[in-house]
Structure 1
Amino acid sequence: MKGHTAAKRDWWQGRSSGQQWCLHEKVQLPPLPYRNAPGTPKAIALVGYACDEGVRRNLGRPGAAHGPDAIRSQLAKMPNHLDRETALLDLGNLSAPNGDMEAAQQNLAQVVQNILGHTHFPIVLGGGHDLAYGHLMGLKLALGKEKKLGIINFDAHFDLRNNGHGNHSGTPFFQFAKDCERDASGFHYLCLGIRQDANHQELFKTAETLGAQFVPQEHFNMHFLEHVQLRLVQFMEDVDLLYTTIDLDGFSSAFAPGCSAASPMGFSPDIVLECLKLILASGKAVSLDIAEMNPEYDRDHQTAKLAASLVHFVLHQLP
């Protein structure tokens, strides 16, 4: 596959116990296309979207192409609490040679379809938030349009910009909404953490037109936990399956300075973890990704550690 880099053992380093105490000792590095090995009834498959072309097109700060490796470097050192029967796979990175973001998205769609074809759980590490469109295309290829797929986006931005002048990191959910309109499959979207200072008026109108739901940042905190949980449960009850995407620029820069559009006005990790508990406990979650990890602007690997801790949490909360 053009633009694919196979996973390397160098990406997974840490203290050695000889007993798989750390995730770098647990992870397996199979080639693409992935073929299910005997004896792996349950597996979680990581794939990196090493592309920030969408960020560049959106006039953001490039650097997220190095995000997947930054997340892996912190995740590798974290403790392994998975049972021996659960496999952890790393399928490598997908990039965008010559700035061909659309090819990278198509490749991601194929890889996600491949992973879901083995009934494994994909976690995509980004990379610009344009990864969401590739991820969603892969979900549609694997799951069909009969099931109602719910999108839960932890983000300061709707990413519903019109793509009439081209695709970029701000257009993925608009693109998917239009795909759903064409095949009459329905667009079910909930965005948690929306900031008024990060979305112009037209985006709120677009969200209303498309039937998108959102919780504003001023209500997305532990003081409003019951309200947030109620909104989340109501949304989840109305869909069959759930795709979750976490944009690191939704967090306050106190927690996540290493992203394209960092802001001190974002949310905190505690409310995200509470929501992830509900999402994963629902039994409807089919995939997840983390976007906008930009190590060029990180401080002491703080954002990479946050992203890795979120992945670690998901790995160990999956039913």
Structure 2
Amino acid sequence: MFNYKLANPETWFGRSSDQQLYLHEKVLFSNLNEPFPFKTNKTFALLGYSSDEGVRRNHGRIGSALGPDAIRRQLGKMPNHLGEDTQLIDFGNLQCINQDLEELQIECTNAVNYFIENRTTPVLLGGSHDLAYAHYNGLRQHIKSGEKIGIINFDAHFDLRANTNGSNSGTPFYQIAFDHAKNSDSIKYMALGIRKDANTKDLFEFAELHQVNYLFQKYFNMNYLEHVQLRIIQFLEDVDYVYATIDLDGFSSAYAPGVSAPSPMGFSPDVVIESLKLIIESGKLIGLDVVELNPKYDIDDQTAKLAASLIHYVIHKL
């Protein structure tokens, strides 16, 4: 793989023990170019999407290519509560060479396909949100005829911009919707945390046309938790599998200052955790990514810690 770089074990560090009390002591390392080496009932595959080309094309703040390793550095310090039969494997990073985002997406799709073929849950680390198109395509290859895969996006933005001038961090769900439309099918897409001040009216019109489920940020909080849960449950009932994608710029900059497009008007971690709990308990979650971490603008690694905590929660809850 032209865009591939093996994992660097030095990004995993923390307190030491002789009982694998911390994730840096639990994590294993492997290579996408080799046969899958580990066979257990529960395996999580970490893969970095080390690119901010999509953000650059979308006129955002570049720097998210550094996101995957920043997440690893925080995740490694966290306590390990995984069972002995659960494996956490770091497969390294895919990188964007010569600004060839489209080739990167193809390689990312192939990597996700490799994980699913080996009954492994992909956990992708971003990187710009254009990875969602690749991640979804890799998952979709394994969905049987008649089955539906739903997308739940925690985000301030729909990311439904047309890719007329090429893919970018704002186009992934437009591309997915377009692919479905070509097959006389419809996208199953829910966006949680949408803001009117972050999306143009044509994006709302496109969302309505394609029957996108969305919840405004002003209702995506703990005060409206029962309503949030009901909306998620209704969406889950209509799909067979779920792909969850967390865009860190959907959080208020009070929690996530280090992102490509920060805003103080975002949501908080508690409602996201409650939402993830419902998704996981449905038994339908087959892929997760956390995107748009930009360490260049982070403060005391606060955003990287948030990303790592979300991943820590999901892999332990699963």
The answer for the alignment partner of 2:130 in structure 1 is: 130
The answer for the alignment partner of 2:85 in structure 1 is: 85
Shift of 1:37: 3.2
- Identify if the C-alpha distance between structure 1 residues 181 and 144 changes in structure 2 by more than 3 Å, giving closer, same or farther: farther
Give the AA of the match of 1:155: D
- 1:207 and 2:207 matched: yes
- Which string of whole-angstrom CA distances, capped at 9 and with x for unpartnered residues, describes residues 66-89 of structure 1? 000000000000000000000000
* Partner Cα separation in structure 2 for residue 96 and residue 200 of structure 1: 29
Shift of 1:145: 5.0
- Whether the 8 Å CA contact 2:159–2:171 is kept in 1: the answer is yes
CA RMSD of aligned residues (A): 1.0
* Partner Cα separation in structure 2 for residue 39 and residue 55 of structure 1: 36
- Whether the 8 Å CA contact 2:186–2:210 is kept in 1: the answer is no
The answer for the alignment partner of 1:223 in structure 2 is: 223
- 1:19 and 2:53 matched: no
The answer for the alignment partner of 2:6 in structure 1 is: 6
Tell me whether 257-266 or 31-40 shows the greater mean CA deviation.
31-40
The answer for the alignment partner of 2:258 in structure 1 is: 258
Provide the secondary structure at the position in 1 that maps to 2:47: strand
TM-score, length basis structure 1: 0.98
Tell me whether 40-49 or 271-280 shows the greater mean CA deviation.
40-49
- Which string of whole-angstrom CA distances, capped at 9 and with x for unpartnered residues, describes residues 194-220 of structure 1? 000000100000100111110000000
- Whether the 8 Å CA contact 1:295–1:304 is kept in 2: the answer is yes
Provide the secondary structure at the position in 1 that maps to 2:109: helix
Shift of 1:313: 0.3
Consecutive unaligned residues of structure 2, counting only runs of 5 or more, are: none
- 1:295 and 2:295 matched: yes
The answer for the alignment partner of 1:114 in structure 2 is: 114
- Whether the 8 Å CA contact 1:109–1:138 is kept in 2: the answer is yes
- Whether the 8 Å CA contact 1:295–1:301 is kept in 2: the answer is yes
- Which string of whole-angstrom CA distances, capped at 9 and with x for unpartnered residues, describes residues 110-130 of structure 1? 000000011111000000000
Shift of 1:41: 2.6
* Partner Cα separation in structure 2 for residue 257 and residue 235 of structure 1: 30
- 1:45 and 2:45 matched: yes
Give the AA of the match of 1:35: P
- Which string of whole-angstrom CA distances, capped at 9 and with x for unpartnered residues, describes residues 102-156 of structure 1? 1111111000000001111100000000010010111122335532010000000
- Whether the 8 Å CA contact 1:34–1:115 is kept in 2: the answer is no
Provide the secondary structure at the position in 2 that maps to 1:288: strand
- Identify if the C-alpha distance between structure 1 residues 280 and 90 changes in structure 2 by more than 3 Å, giving closer, same or farther: same
* Partner Cα separation in structure 1 for residue 174 and residue 34 of structure 2: 30
- Whether the 8 Å CA contact 1:148–1:185 is kept in 2: the answer is no
- Whether the 8 Å CA contact 1:75–1:308 is kept in 2: the answer is yes
List structure 1 runs of 4+ shifted beyond 6 angstroms: none
The answer for the alignment partner of 2:248 in structure 1 is: 248
* Partner Cα separation in structure 2 for residue 38 and residue 3 of structure 1: 24
- Whether the 8 Å CA contact 2:255–2:303 is kept in 1: the answer is yes
- 1:157 and 2:157 matched: yes
- Whether the 8 Å CA contact 1:70–1:304 is kept in 2: the answer is yes
The answer for the alignment partner of 1:167 in structure 2 is: 167
* Partner Cα separation in structure 2 for residue 295 and residue 14 of structure 1: 19
- Whether the 8 Å CA contact 2:245–2:290 is kept in 1: the answer is yes
* Partner Cα separation in structure 1 for residue 34 and residue 238 of structure 2: 33
The answer for the alignment partner of 1:312 in structure 2 is: 312
* Partner Cα separation in structure 1 for residue 127 and residue 116 of structure 2: 21
* Partner Cα separation in structure 1 for residue 65 and residue 186 of structure 2: 32
* Partner Cα separation in structure 2 for residue 34 and residue 85 of structure 1: 22
Shift of 1:240: 0.5
The answer for the alignment partner of 1:35 in structure 2 is: 35
- Identify if the C-alpha distance between structure 1 residues 39 and 52 changes in structure 2 by more than 3 Å, giving closer, same or farther: closer
Consecutive unaligned residues of structure 1, counting only runs of 5 or more, are: none
Give the AA of the match of 1:60: G
